[in-house]
Amino acid sequence: MKINTTPLRIPLAIVLLALAYFTAPDAWIPHQWRVATYNWLGAASYRDAPTSKDYSLPDAEEICPPDALGWRDEQIIEGVLIEPAAGCVPDNPYLIAAVTRGTNQVSQATLLKSGLMPDTVMMGEDLDGDGDPDEITIKLEVVELNGQSPDVPVPVTTFAIAPGIEPGMWVFAPKSFGMSTENFETRKANSLLRPPAPVIRVEQGDRVTVVLENSHYLPHTIHFHGVDHPFSADHGMPHYEGANHEQHAMGTDGVAETSEMPAMPGTTLTYQFSPRVAGTMFYHCHVQANVHILMGMQGMFVIEENRPDNWPQTLNIGAGQVRHSSVAVREQYQREYDLHYFDLFKNLSETIQTHNDPRLTLIDQHRRWNITRDSANYFLLNGKSFPYTLQESLIVVKPNEKVKLRTLNGGSHSIALHSHGFRPTVTHLDGIPLGPGSEFIRDVIDLAPAQRVDMVLQTTNDGLHNYGEGVWLFHDHHETAQTTDGIYPGGSVSNIVFDSYVDSGGFPKVQGTDWKKFFTAEFYRKDVPIWLDYDPTGLFADPRAPLRPLLQLAVFGAASTGFLVILFMLLFRRGRGT
Partner 1 sequence: MKPVTLGVCFSILLLSMSFGVQGEQTQNPSKAQAAPAPIAQDHSTMDHSSMDHSSMDHSSMDHSSMENGSTAGVENMEGMDHSAMGHGGMDHSGHSMTFDARGMVMNSNADQLPKDCAAISRDYSFTVRAGTRYAEAFPGNVFGMSQHLFAVEPCSRINITFINEDAIRHQFMVHGLPRYLYPQGMFHLEAMGGATLSGTLIMPSDDKTYLVHCDIAQHMEKGMKGQIKVGRGSGDLTSIPGVSALFRSDNYYNSQSQILAIAGGMVLTLIGLLVWRRYRR
Region binding partner 1 by CB under 8 A among candidate stretches 209-217, 290-298, 468-476, 556-564: 209-217
CB of 238 to partner 1, least distance (A): 13
Nearer to partner 1, 303 or 317 (CB): 317
**Cα gap 532→537, rounded to integer Å:** 10
CB-nearer residue toward partner 1: 73 or 514: 73
Q: Does 59 bind partner 1 (CB under 8 A)?
A: no
- Is residue 191 within the footprint of partner 1 (CB under 8 A)? yes
Task: Decide: is 154 part of the binding site for partner 1 (CB under 8 A).
Answer: yes
Q: Which helix (H) or strand (E) holds 534?
A: none
* Beta bridge partner(s), residue 52: 543
* Peptide bond connecting 133 to the previous residue in cis, omega within 30 degrees of 0: no
Query: Which residue, 96, 294, 292, 296, is CA-closest to 195?
Result: 296
Contact code string over 360-379 relative to partner 1, x by CB under 8 A: x-------------------
Maximum distance among all Cα pairs of the chain, rounded to whole angstroms: 116
- DSSP states of 260-329 as a string? -PPBPTT-EEEEEE---S-EEEEEE--STHHHHTTTT-EEEEEEEPP-TT----SEETTSEE-SS--HHH
Nearer to partner 1, 87 or 421 (CB): 87
Residues 77-136 within binding reach of partner 1 (CB under 8 A): 92, 94-95, 108, 111-115, 117-119
DSSP 137-202: EEEEEEEEESB--SS-SS-BSB--SBTTB---EEEEEE-B-S-SBSSTT--BBPTTS-SSEEEEEE
Under the binding rule (CB under 8 A), the answer on residue 186 touching partner 1 is yes
Cα(310)–Cα(308) distance, rounded to whole angstroms? 5
Q: What is the CA radius of gyration of the chain?
A: 31
What's the gap between Cα 538 and its chain centre?
A: 32
Q: How far is the CB of 26 from partner 1 (least distance, A)?
A: 38
Q: Which stretch binds partner 1 (CB under 8 A): 23-31, 212-220, 301-309, 391-399?
A: 212-220
Nearer to partner 1, 129 or 153 (CB): 153
Q: Which of 99, 106, 161, 193 binds partner 1 (CB under 8 A)?
A: 193
Cα 402–Cα 82–Cα 505 angle in degrees, nearest 5: 80
Pick the closer one to partner 1 by CB: 219 or 312: 219
The Cα–Cα gap between 114 and 103 comes to 9
Residue 333 CB, nearest approach to partner 1 (Å) = 27
Contact mark string toward partner 1, 234..273, x via CB under 8 A: -------xxx--------------------xxxxx-----
DSSP state of 487: B
Give the nearer residue to partner 1 in terms of CB position, either 118 or 449.
118
Dihedral of the alpha carbons of 343, 348, 350, 355, in degrees to the nearest 10: -140
Residue closer to partner 1 by CB (options 96, 380) is 96
Q: How far is the CB of 177 from partner 1 (least distance, A)?
A: 6
Q: Compare residues 104 and 461 and give the one whose CB is closer to partner 1.
A: 104
Residues forming the site for partner 1 (CB under 8 A): 69, 71, 92, 94-95, 108, 111-115, 117-119, 141, 143-145, 147-154, 156-157, 175-187, 189-193, 213-217, 241-243, 264-268, 355-360
